[in-house]
Structure 1
Amino acid sequence: MPKTLLVFPPGWSPVGPYLALPVLKSYLQEVEQYKVDIIDLNVEFYDDLLSYRHVEECCKRYRESKDSFSSNVQLTIELIQKSALNVDEAKDIFRSKRYFNLKERQYAENIFRNALYIINHVSYGVKYTFNSIDLPYDYYSTPEIMKSLADTLHNPFISFYEIAFLKRIQREKIEFIGISVSGCFQLISAVTLAKLIKEECPSVKHVSLGGNYITRLADDCMKEWHPFFEYIDSIMMYDGEEPLARLLEALDSGDDNLDCVPNLCHAKGGKIYKNHRIEQTFINDTVPDFDGFALSKYFMPELILPVYSSRQCFNHCAFCTIPGATGGCYRKMPISRVFEIMCRLNEKYGTRVFSFVDETFEGKRMEQLADEINASGKTFFWHGETRFSPTLSTDVFNKIYQSGCRQIQFGLESYNQRVLDLMKKNTRVDWIDRNIHDCLNAGIPVHLFFMIGFPTETKEEALNTLAYTENVLNYSKQVCGVPYSTRGFTNFGLVMGSDVWNHPDKYGVSVMPKSQYEDLRLEVDYVSGTGLTLHSMRIR
C-alpha cells in the first residue's frame, strides 16, 4: 500500500482539531487495515507564526521600515513591540488553567493583538487573524490563485512548507498525499503545497484533494479542465472513507486507470472525468484517531475534541448546500456507541470536553446521550447544534444540562413564520419561544444563527428577527443569569446547489450571470422582485 500522509493545511482556526482526517485515519486503519499518518499543518503554522522567533524578526523588520516618528508615536510603537515579544507567554496562558483568570486572559489577548499588529504590518498585504489567513489574491479566481503559487513575497506558505514540511516527505519517502480543503482560506495553501510536492518530492506519486469545500467546487465550478490539475492528480468528492480506500488500492496495484474509484474527480488527456457516485448508507463508527496531531498546540486551555453522532441532515432548508457535499442519506450512530467513543477518547487523550459537529444533533438523541452520561457518573462537557422541536421540554433541558451540555446552537434563521415556511425550515415560532425559554432556564446558553434578506423578506420582518434575538440575549443575562448566550447573522447569499438556486422562480429571484473572473465563487448575485435587496440589507 502506498505510504500515505493526510494533511490539514493552514487557513483554519487553530483553537481545536478538525475531525475529517482523524475519522479517515481510524476507518482506513481499523476497517481496511491500511497504515495512515496525519498532520495538522494549520496549528503548526499558527504556532510558528505566533512564536518569539517570528515576532522578534517582524519587530526588527518593522523598525527598519520606519524612518522617523514623533516621540509619542515612537513610545507607543516600542510598547507594542515589547508586549508582542511576550507571545510565548501568551500561548502558555491560552493553553493552561491561567486562561480562566480574567486578568491573565485579557493580558494574553492583548499580547496576541499586538503581535498580529506587528506581523500584519510587515507581511506585504497578508492579513492574519485567528479565523483566517487572507492573502492579497482573490480566493474565488483561478487565475489569481495560480498567480499566487510562485509569489514568495505574498504567499507565506511557500517558505513555511519548505522549512517545516517538505523535508519530512522526502525523508520518509511518502508516496500518497491527501490534502483536506474545508474552507476557501485553505485553497491557496493547499494548491501551493501540491505544487511544491510535485516539484520537490519525487517519491510522491499521487496528490489528492478532499473535503466539503473542494467537493462543492468540483461539483459546480470544474467542468472540462482546470489548472489545479497541473499539480494535483484527483479530487475525492463527498464522504472520503470508501473512495480513499479504493484509490489507495488502485494505486497499490499499479493501475493507472482510476475510472473504477467511486466519487473521484480526475484528469485524463486534458479533460476532467467524474466517476460514478455512490450514495453512502453506512456511518463510520470507528473511534477517531488524533495521533499525529500536535494536540498540545491548540489555542485553548483544555483539549476540545470534535465528535459526531450522525451524518447529513434530515431537513432540506432552501438556502443550504453543505450537506450535499457529504453525500448519501441522513444516517446516525446508536447513542450507546457515541457515548462509548467519548469514553474511549477520554481514556486515550484525557479530554473531558467534546464538540458535536453534526449538521443537526436531534433533540431526542441529545436526551438519550444525557441519560447515558448521567447514568455513568462521568464528568463530561459538550455542546452541539440542534433544531427547534416540540419534543424538547423543561425536563429534557434539565437532563441535558446535568450531563454537561454548556451550549446549544440553534438555526433560528428568522422569527417570522412566513419566512420560515418559505425557507423550508419545518419550524414553528411557538416552538422557538418555548425551546429557548426552557433551555435558558435550565442554565444552558444558546447561540442563535440567523440571516437577513432571504428572498421576499421585508425590512419589517428582518427588524423583527433582530429585535427578537436582542431580547433573547437580554432575557438570558438579566432574567436567567446566563451571560454567555450569543448570536451571529449573515446576509442571505444565493449559493449554487441550493433549492433557491435550482428553482429561482419559486422564490421570486432572477440569477445574475456569474463573473468569468471569479470562476470559483459558489455564491452568485441575484435580483429579488420583492423584499430587501442586496443594497438594503445593512439594517442598524
Structure 2
Amino acid sequence: MFTLVESLYSNEILDRPDLGCAMLIAACQARGIKTTLIKGQTTYLKDIFIDESEELWDILRELKDADLRKIGILEYKESFAGKDMKQFCVELKGLYGCSIDDKNPRRYFNGLEMKRFHILYNIFMSAYYYCLEELKSNKSRMVDNYVRRIRETNPRYIGFSLQFKFDSFSRAIRKRVKESLGIPIIAGGSLSPFIDLKNIDKILKKEYFDYLIVGPGEFALPRLIEALAAGREPVGIGNVYYARNGRIKGSGLEVINNLDSLPYPDFSQFDLDLYPVPERVLPIQSARGCSWGRCAFCSFHKINAGRHKILSADNFIATLAYLSNKYRCHFFTLNQEELTVEQAGIISKALLGGNLKNINISSAARLEKGYDNASLLRLMRKAGFIQLQWGVESASQRVLDAMRKGTNTRVMSRILKKSSQCGISNICFIFFGFPGETKVEARHTVAYLKKYARYIDDIYCGTFILTPYSPVGQNPSRWNVEICNPAGYTVKSGMNPKEVSIFYARFLKEIAMNNIKVSSGRLICLYPGNSRVTAHFLSSGHGMVLSEVALKCLARKRLNRIFPVLPGEFRKRGGDFVWRAENTMESIFINEHFPEKENTLDSLEEKMFLLSDGTMSIKDIDLIVRDGVRSYHSKKRLRDKCIGFFRKIFSRNLGMAFAAPWRAG
C-alpha cells in the first residue's frame, strides 16, 4: 500500500541504515499500513559498481575534459582512461566485493583500498548528477531501475526521504513516478525543517511531490495516509503541509512529547550486511533535541522545535535488547544531538542492571562540567559506552563564548584526559571560521589539539557554514555578519570566508603529511571522515591496543592476549607470496606516496599472515602452525619463528593488535 524510498543522496558512503526510515516503517506497520522499503545506498552502490557499470563507463567516456574539470574529477581520468569496458567493469566488481561483501577486518583496515572505493564513488556520483543537472540527460538505467522497483511494489502512496538536499537523481525518479503512476507523493526527512515554507507551492511543483512532512513523521505519516485512503483532505494533521488552490495549508509543527509511545525501529527490510563495515552497526535514540539549544551556529533545534525529550531508561534498555537479539548486533550509535550527564548516569546503571552482554555504544555529548567526573566516565565505560563524540568546536574561550557554546576550555581539557584514561575513545569535532575568529585563535585551536593529542583518538573537522535557521542566520548583524546572497556572506572582523578556506586547506595538508600530531595516531592510516569514526568505534569494541602493548605480551609469552590484523596489499608473484604492508602510525597520504617496501614471505610466514585476520589469537595461530609437528625442538623452533614474525610486525607498526576477536568474515 505504501512504498518508502530511502534517501538516494549522500556525500559520504554510509555505514549503517537510516533510523528515520526504520521508525516510519514501524509506525506505519503498527497502524496496519503495509509498508515496503525501496533501499537507497545499498542498492545504488550495487548498481554503480556491478549492475550498471557499463552505463557508467559510457557516461565517463562521453564526458569531455571540460566537463570533467567542471565537476572536479579530471585528475582522476586515469582511473578509467586507457581501459576497455570489460576491464573497467571487472575492476569495479572486484572493488565492490572487497569493500562491501568481504567482511574480513584485514580488508576493512586496508586504507588505500577503502580510499579508492570512496573516491570512485564520489567520482561516479558527480558524473551522474552532472549528466542529470547540467546536461539535462533523460536517459539513466539507474533511474529506470528505481522506477521499476517502485512500480513492482504496486503502491497507492509513495514517500521519499530527504536527508541532505534536493538532488537531481531523486527528482528524476519522482518526476517519472508522478508521470507514470499519478499517485500521491509524500516527502519528509531531516531536510524538511529547513525548507522555506513560504515557497512551498513552487517547491512542490519543482520537486514533484504533493505533501511535505516537516519534523517528526511517526504520527504524521500514518495519519496522512489514513486520511488520503478515506478520501479526506488532511486538515489538522500536525507537521503536514500541502497546496490547495494556490494556498499553502498546514497545522504547524507537532513534537512527539512521549518517546516511549513510539514502536521499536524496524530494520528488517534493510540489507544490513551490505554496508562497508565488518560488523553490523545500528542507530538508536535515547533522546531527541538538545538540552542546551543555544549554540549560535546550529540549526538542529528547529527539527524538534527547541525541545528536549528523553526516552525512559527502561524503554531504552528494552529497545537495545530487542535490536541486539533480533538483528545479531552489538554496536549501536546514539543518533541524537547529545547525551546529557544525567541521562548518561541513569542509562549506564540501567545497562549494568539489565545484564545486557557485549553491548557497545557511541554517542555525541557536550563537554559540560558534569562529565568532569572520573567515576561517571568509568561507570559509562563499564556499561558499554566505548566512544564519545565531543563538540570541541574551538579552543579559544573568546570564540566559544561568541558561539554561545556554554563550555570552558579548562573543563574541556580535564574531561578529555579523564575520558581517555577511563578507556573511552574520544572523537573531537572542530571547525574554523566562526564569524570573528582570527588566525591567531584558529592557530590556538591547532596548538590545543597538539597538546592534548594523546587523549584524542581522532578529529572531525570542517569550516563554518551559515545556515538560515541558526541564530547567526536569523540575526547576522549581532555577529557582525553581512549576507551577500543566499550562498555567501562577509564578516567585519576576523578571517573572511576565503581566508578560512586557505587556513583549513593548509591544516588538512599538514595532517595528511603527518607533519602535525593532533590525535593519538590510531587509525590515521584510514580514509578520514565518518568511516574512520566508525572504525575507531569498532576497534574500541575489540580492545585495540598499541604496538608496544602487543610487544610486551609477546615478550611475556601471553600469546592468547593478542588478536592480530595485518592490513595491506598482498598477491602471488610467480611462486612467491608478496605483501606490501601499511604503516599503521602513518597517514594514508604517506602510505600512498611513500609506501613500505614489499615483503616476500616464505610458506610459514604466508600461513601466519593469512591467519592474522582478527578472528584468532597469536596462540591459536601458533597452534595451527605447529599442528602435526611431533618433535619438541621443531615445535620450539616454529614457536620462536612465530613470535619473531609478530615481533617484527609490531616493532615496525605494520599490524594492528586487538584484545578481543572479530567475528569470522
Bin for the TM-score computed over the shorter chain = 0.7 to 0.9
CA displacement, residues 6-50 of structure 1 (integer Å, 9 cap, x when unaligned): 1113212342101001111212323x3433222322220012212
Q: d(CA) in 1 for partners of 2:258 and 2:172?
A: 34
Letter of the 1:307 partner, please give it.
I
Shift of 1:348: 0.8
What corresponds to 2:441 in structure 1? 461
Task: Provide closer, same or farther for how the CA distance between residues 398 and 193 of structure 1 changes in structure 2, counting only shifts above 3 A.
Answer: same
Aligned partners of 1:398, 1:81: CA distance in 2, in Å?
55
Q: Which residue of 2 aligns with 1:430?
A: 410
> SS of 2:110's equivalent?
helix
Which digits, 9 at most, give the CA deviation of each residue in 1:479-525, with x for residues without a partner?
A: xxxxxx111222212210111122223212222243xxxxxxxxx42
Mark the CA change 1:417 to 1:74 in structure 2 (over 3 Å): closer, same or farther: closer
| Aligned residue number for residue 217 of structure 1 | 195
Contact 2:36–2:153 (Cα < 8 Å) also in 1 = no
2:460 is aligned with 1:491? no
Moved more, 444-453 or 264-273: 264-273
Residue 304 of structure 1 is matched in structure 2 by 281
Q: Counterparts of 1:326 and 1:222 in 2: how far apart (Å)?
A: 21
RMSD: 3.2
* Greater Cα offset, 107-116 or 304-313: 107-116
Cα deviation for residue 462 of structure 1 reads 1.3
Q: TM-score, normalised by structure 2?
A: 0.66
Q: Deviations over 1:358-390 (max 9, x none)?
A: 111123322333333334150011211000122
| Aligned mates of 1:28, 1:508 — CA distance in 2 | 47
Aligned residue number for residue 257 of structure 2: 281
Between stretches 443-452 and 226-235, larger displacement belongs to: 226-235
**What is the CA–CA distance in structure 2 between the aligned matches of 1:107 and 1:526, rounded to whole Å?**
37
Query: What is the distance in 2 between the residues matched to 1:19 and 1:46?
Result: 19
Cα 1:247–1:74 change in 2 (3 A) is closer
Distance of 2:286 and 2:387 partners within structure 1? 17
1:243 matched to 2:220: yes
Structure 1 position 18 matched with structure 2 position 18: yes
Residue 369 (structure 2) pairs with residue 390 (structure 1)? yes
User: For residue 465 of structure 2, what is the amino acid of its counterpart?
Assistant: G
What is residue 343 of structure 2 aligned with on the other side? 365
CA contact (8 A) 1:266 1:272 kept: yes
Task: Give the one of 300, 321, 325 matched to 1:343.
Answer: 321
Task: Give 2:41's aligned residue.
Answer: 42
User: Would the aligned equivalents of 2:287 and 2:310 in 1 still touch at CA under 8 Å?
Assistant: yes
Aligned residues between the structures: 484
Q: 1:213 and 1:113, CA in 2 relative to 1: closer, same or farther beyond 3 A?
A: closer
For 1:49 and 1:418, how far apart are their aligned partners in 2?
Answer: 47
Superposition deviation, residue 528 in structure 1: 1.8
Equivalent position of 2:330 in the other structure: 352
Letter of the aligned partner of 1:4 in structure 2? F
Identical amino acids, percent of aligned pairs:
21
Q: In structure 2, what is the equivalent of residue 407 of structure 1?
A: 387
Q: CA deviation at 1:529?
A: 1.6
Per-residue deviation at 1:181? 0.3
Q: Structure 2: how far apart are the matches of 1:445 and 1:470?
A: 17
**Residues 182-214 of structure 1, C-alpha deviations (whole Å, 9 max, x = no match):** 112x63232222111112224xx2101101213
Aligned-partner SS, 2:427: strand
Between the aligned partners of 1:102 and 1:162, the Cα distance in structure 2 is 33
TM-score relative to the length of structure 1: 0.81
- Tell me which amino acid in the other structure corresponds to 2:320: M
**In the alignment, does 2:244 pair up with 1:268?**
yes
**Structure of higher CA gyration radius:** 2
2:492 corresponding residue in structure 1 = 529
8 A Cα contact 1:236 1:244, kept in partner: yes
Cα distance in 2 between the residues matched to 1:180 and 1:75: 32
Question: 1:230 and 1:333 mapped to 2: Cα distance?
Answer: 35
* 1:302-354 deviation digits (Å, cap 9, x = unpaired): 11110010011111211110231233621000122112111101111111111
On the 8 A contact 1:166/1:201 being kept in 2, the answer is: no
Q: CA deviation at 1:290?
A: 1.0
Task: Report if the CA contact (8 A) 2:103-2:277 is conserved.
Answer: no
| Structure 2: distance between partners of 1:459 and 1:350 | 49
* Structure 2 letter corresponding to 1:19: L
What is the deviation of 1:435? 0.7
CA distance in 2, matches of 1:103, 1:209: 35
- Distance across 2 between alignment mates of 1:208 and 1:183: 17
Write the distance in 2 (CA, Å) between the matches of 1:489 and 1:437.
20
Structure 2 stretches of 5 or more lacking a match?
Answer: 65-77, 507-665
Instruction: Quote the offset at 1:237 in angstroms.
Output: 0.6
3-state secondary structure, aligned to 1:177: strand
Change (3 A) 1:171 1:100: closer
Gaps of 5+ in 1: 67-72, 129-133, 138-143, 478-484, 515-523
Alignment of 1:150-165 (within 5 A): 151-152=137-138, 158-163=140-145, 165=146
CA separation of 1:57 and 1:35: change in aligned 2, threshold 3 A? closer
The equivalent of 1:313 in structure 2 is 290
Q: CA deviation at 1:225?
A: 3.0
Using a 3 Å threshold, how does the CA distance of structure 1 residues 104 and 421 change in structure 2: closer, same or farther?
A: closer
Q: 1:136 to 1:172 in 2, by over 3 A?
A: closer
User: Is 1:109 aligned with 2:151?
Assistant: no
- Give the Cα separation in 2 of the matches to 1:65 and 1:234: 37
